[in-house]
Amino acid sequence: MDTRTRRREIDDVASELFHANGFAATSVRDIAKALDIQAASLYAHVASKDDVLWSIVDGAATDFEHAADRALGDAAEGDAVERLAALVEAHVEVVTADPERSSVFVTEWRHLSGSLRAAVESRRDAYEARFRGTIAEGVGTGAFRATDPAIAATFVLTALNGIATWYRPDGRLTPDRIADHYVDLALSAVAEDHG
Amino acid sequence: MDTRTRRREIDDVASELFHANGFAATSVRDIAKALDIQAASLYAHVASKDDVLWSIVDGAATDFEHAADRALGDAAEGDAVERLAALVEAHVEVVTADPERSSVFVTEWRHLSGSLRAAVESRRDAYEARFRGTIAEGVGTGAFRATDPAIAATFVLTALNGIATWYRPDGRLTPDRIADHYVDLALSAVAEDHG
Protein backbone atom coordinates (compact mmCIF):
# COMPACT_ATOMS: atom_id res chain seq x y z
CA MET A 1 0.00 0.00 0.00
CA ASP A 2 1.53 3.36 -0.97
CA THR A 3 1.79 6.23 1.52
CA ARG A 4 -1.06 8.18 -0.04
CA THR A 5 -3.48 5.25 0.11
CA ARG A 6 -2.44 4.43 3.69
CA ARG A 7 -2.90 8.05 4.69
CA ARG A 8 -6.42 8.08 3.26
CA GLU A 9 -7.20 4.83 5.05
CA ILE A 10 -6.06 6.36 8.35
CA ASP A 11 -8.34 9.36 7.75
CA ASP A 12 -11.30 7.08 6.97
CA VAL A 13 -10.88 4.94 10.07
CA ALA A 14 -10.24 7.98 12.28
CA SER A 15 -13.31 9.74 10.83
CA GLU A 16 -15.48 6.81 11.86
CA LEU A 17 -14.04 6.81 15.39
CA PHE A 18 -14.18 10.61 15.83
CA HIS A 19 -17.75 10.58 14.48
CA ALA A 20 -18.88 7.73 16.77
CA ASN A 21 -17.07 8.69 19.98
CA GLY A 22 -15.78 12.23 19.48
CA PHE A 23 -12.22 13.44 18.90
CA ALA A 24 -11.42 13.82 22.61
CA ALA A 25 -12.48 10.27 23.49
CA THR A 26 -10.44 8.67 20.67
CA SER A 27 -6.76 7.82 21.21
CA VAL A 28 -4.00 7.17 18.66
CA ARG A 29 -4.03 3.63 20.08
CA ASP A 30 -7.74 3.30 19.16
CA ILE A 31 -7.00 4.39 15.59
CA ALA A 32 -4.07 1.95 15.32
CA LYS A 33 -6.20 -0.86 16.73
CA ALA A 34 -8.99 -0.21 14.20
CA LEU A 35 -6.34 -0.36 11.44
CA ASP A 36 -4.95 -3.55 12.99
CA ILE A 37 -1.45 -2.08 13.30
CA GLN A 38 0.80 -1.04 16.20
CA ALA A 39 0.58 2.58 17.43
CA ALA A 40 4.31 2.85 16.63
CA SER A 41 3.60 1.98 12.98
CA LEU A 42 0.87 4.62 12.87
CA TYR A 43 3.40 7.25 13.97
CA ALA A 44 5.34 6.53 10.78
CA HIS A 45 2.42 8.16 8.94
CA VAL A 46 1.07 10.77 11.34
CA ALA A 47 2.73 13.06 13.87
CA SER A 48 -0.17 13.17 16.35
CA LYS A 49 -3.91 12.82 16.82
CA ASP A 50 -4.23 16.54 16.01
CA ASP A 51 -2.42 15.86 12.77
CA VAL A 52 -5.05 13.23 11.85
CA LEU A 53 -7.88 15.65 12.70
CA TRP A 54 -6.23 18.33 10.58
CA SER A 55 -5.90 15.95 7.64
CA ILE A 56 -9.59 15.01 7.86
CA VAL A 57 -10.81 18.60 8.26
CA ASP A 58 -8.48 19.95 5.57
CA GLY A 59 -9.55 17.18 3.16
CA ALA A 60 -13.24 17.81 3.78
CA ALA A 61 -12.85 21.60 3.48
CA THR A 62 -10.96 21.16 0.20
CA ASP A 63 -13.69 18.89 -1.21
CA PHE A 64 -16.43 21.37 -0.24
CA GLU A 65 -14.43 24.24 -1.78
CA HIS A 66 -13.71 22.42 -5.04
CA ALA A 67 -17.32 21.24 -5.37
CA ALA A 68 -18.62 24.78 -4.79
CA ASP A 69 -16.15 26.24 -7.28
CA ARG A 70 -17.16 23.68 -9.90
CA ALA A 71 -20.84 24.36 -9.19
CA LEU A 72 -20.41 28.13 -9.53
CA GLY A 73 -18.32 27.59 -12.68
CA ASP A 74 -20.95 25.34 -14.27
CA ALA A 75 -23.70 27.84 -13.41
CA ALA A 76 -21.64 30.89 -14.42
CA GLU A 77 -24.01 31.75 -17.25
CA GLY A 78 -27.09 31.25 -15.06
CA ASP A 79 -28.77 33.54 -12.55
CA ALA A 80 -28.64 33.50 -8.75
CA VAL A 81 -31.40 30.87 -8.58
CA GLU A 82 -29.36 28.44 -10.68
CA ARG A 83 -26.19 29.23 -8.78
CA LEU A 84 -27.78 28.65 -5.36
CA ALA A 85 -29.30 25.38 -6.66
CA ALA A 86 -25.85 24.30 -7.90
CA LEU A 87 -24.21 25.17 -4.55
CA VAL A 88 -26.82 23.21 -2.56
CA GLU A 89 -26.57 20.21 -4.89
CA ALA A 90 -22.76 20.21 -4.66
CA HIS A 91 -22.89 20.39 -0.85
CA VAL A 92 -25.32 17.46 -0.59
CA GLU A 93 -23.05 15.45 -2.88
CA VAL A 94 -19.96 16.01 -0.71
CA VAL A 95 -21.82 15.32 2.57
CA THR A 96 -23.44 12.10 1.37
CA ALA A 97 -20.24 10.82 -0.28
CA ASP A 98 -18.62 10.66 3.16
CA PRO A 99 -21.03 11.51 6.01
CA GLU A 100 -18.60 10.51 8.81
CA ARG A 101 -15.87 12.82 7.51
CA SER A 102 -18.39 15.64 6.94
CA SER A 103 -19.71 15.21 10.45
CA VAL A 104 -16.17 15.40 11.88
CA PHE A 105 -15.58 18.50 9.76
CA VAL A 106 -18.74 20.14 11.09
CA THR A 107 -18.54 19.18 14.78
CA GLU A 108 -14.91 18.32 15.67
CA TRP A 109 -12.96 21.08 13.86
CA ARG A 110 -13.21 23.21 17.01
CA HIS A 111 -10.81 20.78 18.72
CA LEU A 112 -8.06 22.02 16.38
CA SER A 113 -5.75 24.38 18.15
CA GLY A 114 -4.46 27.90 17.48
CA SER A 115 -3.58 28.79 13.91
CA LEU A 116 -5.11 25.63 12.39
CA ARG A 117 -8.44 26.41 14.01
CA ALA A 118 -8.23 30.01 12.80
CA ALA A 119 -7.38 28.82 9.28
CA VAL A 120 -10.42 26.53 9.20
CA GLU A 121 -12.62 29.29 10.61
CA SER A 122 -11.62 31.61 7.79
CA ARG A 123 -12.09 28.90 5.13
CA ARG A 124 -15.56 28.12 6.56
CA ASP A 125 -16.39 31.81 6.39
CA ALA A 126 -15.18 32.06 2.78
CA TYR A 127 -17.26 29.01 1.89
CA GLU A 128 -20.35 30.48 3.56
CA ALA A 129 -19.65 33.73 1.67
CA ARG A 130 -20.33 31.91 -1.61
CA PHE A 131 -23.86 31.16 -0.36
CA ARG A 132 -24.24 34.63 1.18
CA GLY A 133 -23.01 36.34 -2.01
CA THR A 134 -25.27 34.29 -4.26
CA ILE A 135 -28.30 35.05 -2.09
CA ALA A 136 -27.37 38.76 -1.94
CA GLU A 137 -27.05 38.79 -5.72
CA GLY A 138 -30.52 37.24 -6.09
CA VAL A 139 -31.98 39.76 -3.64
CA GLY A 140 -30.36 42.51 -5.74
CA THR A 141 -31.87 41.29 -9.01
CA GLY A 142 -35.28 40.58 -7.43
CA ALA A 143 -34.98 36.80 -7.99
CA PHE A 144 -35.08 36.39 -4.19
CA ARG A 145 -37.13 38.40 -1.73
CA ALA A 146 -35.54 41.04 0.51
CA THR A 147 -34.21 38.65 3.12
CA ASP A 148 -31.05 39.01 5.22
CA PRO A 149 -28.47 37.17 3.05
CA ALA A 150 -26.22 36.28 6.01
CA ILE A 151 -28.94 34.68 8.10
CA ALA A 152 -30.53 32.99 5.07
CA ALA A 153 -27.12 31.50 4.14
CA THR A 154 -26.66 30.26 7.72
CA PHE A 155 -30.17 28.76 7.74
CA VAL A 156 -29.53 26.85 4.51
CA LEU A 157 -25.99 25.75 5.42
CA THR A 158 -26.87 24.46 8.89
CA ALA A 159 -29.74 22.45 7.37
CA LEU A 160 -27.29 21.09 4.76
CA ASN A 161 -24.69 20.19 7.40
CA GLY A 162 -27.37 18.44 9.40
CA ILE A 163 -27.54 15.81 6.64
CA ALA A 164 -24.29 14.35 8.01
CA THR A 165 -26.10 13.59 11.29
CA TRP A 166 -29.03 11.62 9.83
CA TYR A 167 -28.00 10.34 6.39
CA ARG A 168 -27.68 6.55 6.06
CA PRO A 169 -26.45 5.03 2.76
CA ASP A 170 -29.12 2.32 3.20
CA GLY A 171 -31.84 4.84 4.13
CA ARG A 172 -35.10 5.78 2.42
CA LEU A 173 -33.60 8.53 0.25
CA THR A 174 -30.74 8.42 -2.27
CA PRO A 175 -28.27 11.33 -2.36
CA ASP A 176 -29.91 12.52 -5.61
CA ARG A 177 -33.38 12.62 -4.04
CA ILE A 178 -32.03 14.41 -0.98
CA ALA A 179 -30.36 16.95 -3.28
CA ASP A 180 -33.64 17.48 -5.18
CA HIS A 181 -35.56 18.06 -1.93
CA TYR A 182 -32.92 20.34 -0.42
CA VAL A 183 -32.55 22.44 -3.58
CA ASP A 184 -36.33 22.83 -3.60
CA LEU A 185 -36.54 23.74 0.12
CA ALA A 186 -33.55 26.12 0.02
CA LEU A 187 -34.73 27.96 -3.11
CA SER A 188 -38.26 28.26 -1.72
CA ALA A 189 -36.91 29.59 1.57
CA VAL A 190 -35.43 32.63 -0.18
CA ALA A 191 -37.74 32.82 -3.22
CA GLU A 192 -39.67 35.95 -4.08
CA ASP A 193 -43.23 35.55 -2.83
CA HIS A 194 -45.45 35.87 -5.90
CA GLY A 195 -48.63 35.56 -3.82
CA MET B 1 -28.13 26.83 48.43
CA ASP B 2 -30.95 24.28 48.23
CA THR B 3 -30.55 20.97 46.42
CA ARG B 4 -32.60 22.03 43.43
CA THR B 5 -30.61 25.24 42.86
CA ARG B 6 -27.32 23.37 43.29
CA ARG B 7 -28.45 20.70 40.83
CA ARG B 8 -29.30 23.37 38.25
CA GLU B 9 -25.91 25.02 38.83
CA ILE B 10 -24.17 21.69 38.21
CA ASP B 11 -26.08 21.27 34.94
CA ASP B 12 -25.18 24.80 33.83
CA VAL B 13 -21.47 24.39 34.53
CA ALA B 14 -21.40 20.90 32.99
CA SER B 15 -23.24 22.16 29.90
CA GLU B 16 -20.55 24.78 29.36
CA LEU B 17 -17.79 22.18 29.71
CA PHE B 18 -19.52 19.53 27.55
CA HIS B 19 -20.24 22.21 24.94
CA ALA B 20 -16.67 23.53 24.91
CA ASN B 21 -14.74 20.26 25.16
CA GLY B 22 -17.23 17.47 24.54
CA PHE B 23 -18.74 15.01 27.03
CA ALA B 24 -15.98 12.43 26.62
CA ALA B 25 -13.17 14.89 27.33
CA THR B 26 -14.81 16.27 30.48
CA SER B 27 -14.29 14.53 33.84
CA VAL B 28 -16.31 14.75 37.05
CA ARG B 29 -13.18 16.36 38.49
CA ASP B 30 -13.37 19.10 35.79
CA ILE B 31 -17.00 19.80 36.71
CA ALA B 32 -16.17 19.93 40.43
CA LYS B 33 -13.23 22.24 39.76
CA ALA B 34 -15.40 24.63 37.72
CA LEU B 35 -17.84 24.68 40.66
CA ASP B 36 -14.94 25.24 43.06
CA ILE B 37 -15.87 22.19 45.15
CA GLN B 38 -14.29 18.78 45.78
CA ALA B 39 -15.24 15.88 43.50
CA ALA B 40 -16.44 14.05 46.62
CA SER B 41 -18.91 16.88 47.36
CA LEU B 42 -20.17 16.71 43.78
CA TYR B 43 -20.96 13.02 44.28
CA ALA B 44 -23.41 14.07 47.02
CA HIS B 45 -25.54 15.53 44.20
CA VAL B 46 -24.88 13.32 41.18
CA ALA B 47 -24.22 9.60 40.80
CA SER B 48 -21.94 9.86 37.75
CA LYS B 49 -20.97 11.90 34.71
CA ASP B 50 -23.67 10.04 32.75
CA ASP B 51 -26.17 11.16 35.38
CA VAL B 52 -25.19 14.79 34.74
CA LEU B 53 -25.55 14.32 30.97
CA TRP B 54 -28.95 12.73 31.48
CA SER B 55 -30.11 15.62 33.67
CA ILE B 56 -29.02 18.16 31.02
CA VAL B 57 -30.55 16.26 28.09
CA ASP B 58 -33.77 15.46 29.97
CA GLY B 59 -34.10 19.09 31.07
CA ALA B 60 -33.58 20.41 27.54
CA ALA B 61 -35.96 17.84 26.02
CA THR B 62 -38.62 18.76 28.58
CA ASP B 63 -38.24 22.48 27.81
CA PHE B 64 -38.53 21.86 24.06
CA GLU B 65 -41.60 19.66 24.60
CA HIS B 66 -43.36 22.13 26.91
CA ALA B 67 -42.61 25.05 24.59
CA ALA B 68 -43.95 23.14 21.57
CA ASP B 69 -47.08 22.08 23.47
CA ARG B 70 -47.71 25.68 24.56
CA ALA B 71 -47.12 26.87 20.98
CA LEU B 72 -49.54 24.35 19.52
CA GLY B 73 -52.06 25.16 22.27
CA ASP B 74 -51.85 28.90 21.62
CA ALA B 75 -52.24 28.33 17.86
CA ALA B 76 -54.97 25.69 18.25
CA GLU B 77 -57.53 27.90 16.52
CA GLY B 78 -55.14 28.78 13.70
CA ASP B 79 -54.16 26.94 10.54
CA ALA B 80 -51.00 24.93 9.78
CA VAL B 81 -49.12 28.11 8.80
CA GLU B 82 -49.75 29.67 12.23
CA ARG B 83 -48.94 26.42 14.00
CA LEU B 84 -45.61 25.94 12.16
CA ALA B 85 -44.73 29.58 12.88
CA ALA B 86 -45.51 29.02 16.57
CA LEU B 87 -43.39 25.83 16.70
CA VAL B 88 -40.40 27.57 15.06
CA GLU B 89 -40.69 30.59 17.35
CA ALA B 90 -40.88 28.36 20.43
CA HIS B 91 -37.83 26.38 19.34
CA VAL B 92 -35.75 29.52 18.76
CA GLU B 93 -36.78 30.76 22.21
CA VAL B 94 -35.60 27.57 23.96
CA VAL B 95 -32.31 27.39 22.00
CA THR B 96 -31.36 31.02 22.58
CA ALA B 97 -32.36 30.94 26.27
CA ASP B 98 -29.57 28.40 26.87
CA PRO B 99 -27.45 27.72 23.77
CA GLU B 100 -24.83 25.62 25.63
CA ARG B 101 -27.43 23.25 27.02
CA SER B 102 -29.22 23.06 23.64
CA SER B 103 -25.94 22.28 21.94
CA VAL B 104 -25.24 19.48 24.42
CA PHE B 105 -28.77 18.18 23.86
CA VAL B 106 -28.24 18.17 20.08
CA THR B 107 -24.68 16.80 19.86
CA GLU B 108 -23.85 14.91 23.08
CA TRP B 109 -27.07 12.97 23.73
CA ARG B 110 -25.61 10.07 21.71
CA HIS B 111 -23.11 9.49 24.53
CA LEU B 112 -26.01 8.34 26.72
CA SER B 113 -26.10 4.59 27.00
CA GLY B 114 -28.72 1.93 26.46
CA SER B 115 -32.24 2.68 27.56
CA LEU B 116 -31.61 6.37 28.28
CA ARG B 117 -30.37 6.87 24.73
CA ALA B 118 -33.37 4.99 23.35
CA ALA B 119 -35.71 7.11 25.51
CA VAL B 120 -34.19 10.33 24.15
CA GLU B 121 -34.33 9.01 20.60
CA SER B 122 -38.04 8.36 20.92
CA ARG B 123 -38.69 11.77 22.53
CA ARG B 124 -36.73 13.45 19.73
CA ASP B 125 -38.82 11.59 17.20
CA ALA B 126 -42.07 12.57 18.94
CA TYR B 127 -40.90 16.18 18.97
CA GLU B 128 -40.02 16.08 15.26
CA ALA B 129 -43.45 14.50 14.64
CA ARG B 130 -45.09 17.76 15.81
CA PHE B 131 -43.28 19.57 12.95
CA ARG B 132 -43.89 16.72 10.50
CA GLY B 133 -47.58 16.52 11.38
CA THR B 134 -48.08 20.27 11.11
CA ILE B 135 -46.41 20.34 7.70
CA ALA B 136 -48.41 17.30 6.53
CA GLU B 137 -51.60 19.03 7.70
CA GLY B 138 -50.69 22.15 5.69
CA VAL B 139 -49.89 20.06 2.62
CA GLY B 140 -53.31 18.42 3.04
CA THR B 141 -55.20 21.73 3.20
CA GLY B 142 -53.14 23.27 0.38
CA ALA B 143 -51.56 25.88 2.67
CA PHE B 144 -48.17 24.29 1.91
CA ARG B 145 -47.03 22.81 -1.38
CA ALA B 146 -46.81 19.07 -1.97
CA THR B 147 -43.47 18.58 -0.26
CA ASP B 148 -42.27 15.51 1.67
CA PRO B 149 -43.31 16.40 5.27
CA ALA B 150 -40.61 14.24 6.86
CA ILE B 151 -37.71 15.73 4.94
CA ALA B 152 -39.11 19.27 5.21
CA ALA B 153 -39.41 18.84 8.99
CA THR B 154 -35.82 17.58 9.17
CA PHE B 155 -34.61 20.49 7.01
CA VAL B 156 -36.28 23.05 9.28
CA LEU B 157 -35.30 21.35 12.56
CA THR B 158 -31.62 20.93 11.67
CA ALA B 159 -31.47 24.61 10.68
CA LEU B 160 -33.12 25.48 14.02
CA ASN B 161 -30.73 23.30 16.01
CA GLY B 162 -27.82 24.92 14.19
CA ILE B 163 -28.64 28.15 16.04
CA ALA B 164 -27.02 26.62 19.15
CA THR B 165 -23.70 26.44 17.27
CA TRP B 166 -23.54 30.09 16.19
CA TYR B 167 -25.77 32.14 18.52
CA ARG B 168 -23.99 34.62 20.79
CA PRO B 169 -25.98 36.65 23.37
CA ASP B 170 -23.85 39.68 22.43
CA GLY B 171 -24.20 39.05 18.67
CA ARG B 172 -25.81 41.12 15.92
CA LEU B 173 -29.28 39.55 16.27
CA THR B 174 -31.58 39.33 19.29
CA PRO B 175 -33.52 36.09 19.87
CA ASP B 176 -36.69 37.87 18.67
CA ARG B 177 -35.09 38.91 15.39
CA ILE B 178 -33.69 35.42 14.85
CA ALA B 179 -37.17 34.00 15.50
CA ASP B 180 -38.69 36.44 12.95
CA HIS B 181 -36.12 35.46 10.30
CA TYR B 182 -36.41 31.72 10.98
CA VAL B 183 -40.22 31.75 10.96
CA ASP B 184 -40.05 33.59 7.65
CA LEU B 185 -37.47 31.21 6.12
CA ALA B 186 -39.17 28.04 7.40
CA LEU B 187 -42.65 29.07 6.24
CA SER B 188 -41.31 30.12 2.84
CA ALA B 189 -39.46 26.82 2.48
CA VAL B 190 -42.73 24.90 2.57
CA ALA B 191 -45.11 27.61 1.28
CA GLU B 192 -47.33 27.05 -1.74
CA ASP B 193 -45.66 28.66 -4.78
CA HIS B 194 -48.05 31.29 -6.07
CA GLY B 195 -45.85 32.11 -9.07
Task: Check if the beta carbon of residue A191 is closer than 8 Å to that of residue A152.
Answer: no
B chain contacts of residue A18, beta-carbon cutoff 8 Å: none
pLDDT 10s digits, B65-110: 999 999 999 999 999 999 999 999 999 999 999 999 999 999 898 8
Q: Mean pLDDT across the stretch A18-46?
A: 92
Of B160, B140, B187, the closest CA to residue B64 belongs to B160
Specify the pLDDT at position A6: 87
A191 - beta bridge partners?
A144
Q: Do the domain assignments include residue B34?
A: no
For residue A89, give every residue at least 6 positions away whose Cβ sits within 8 Å of its Cβ, in sequence order, or none: A71, A179, A182, A183
Please count the residue pairs, one from chain A and one from chain B, whose beta carbons lie less than 8 angstroms apart. 102
State the CATH number of the domain containing residue B148. Answer: 1.10.357.10
Range of the domain at A184: 56-190
Q: Do the domain assignments include residue B180?
A: yes
Number of structural domains found in chain B? 1
pLDDT 10s digits, A61-97: 999 999 999 999 999 999 999 999 999 999 999 999 9
Task: Check if the beta carbon of residue B91 is closer than 8 Å to that of residue B160.
Answer: yes
* Probe site for chain A from B109, B131, B154, B166 (most A CB atoms < 10 A): B154
Cβ count within 10 A of residue B67: 20
Residue A45: DSSP 8-state: T
B188 - beta bridge partners?
none
Q: What is the dihedral of CA B142, B146, B148, B153, to 10 degrees?
A: -40
Torsion angles phi and psi, residue A27, rounded to 5: -105, 165
The span from the CA of B150 to the CA of B147, in Å, is: 9
* pLDDT-derived band at A1, boundaries 50, 70, 90: low
Q: Do the domain assignments include residue B60?
A: yes
The span from the CA of B43 to the CA of A63, in Å, is: 46
Length of chain A: 195
Q: Do the domain assignments include residue A166?
A: yes
Q: Do A190 and B194 touch (CB under 8 A)?
A: no
| ipTM of the complex model | 0.92
- pTM over 0.90, yes/no: yes
A chain contacts of residue B23, beta-carbon cutoff 8 Å: 22
Q: Do the domain assignments include residue B43?
A: no
Q: Do the domain assignments include residue B115?
A: yes
Q: Do the domain assignments include residue B117?
A: yes
Q: Do the domain assignments include residue A63?
A: yes
Alpha-carbon torsion (A45, A51, A53, A59), positive or negative: negative
* Helix H or strand E encompassing B118: helix B114-141
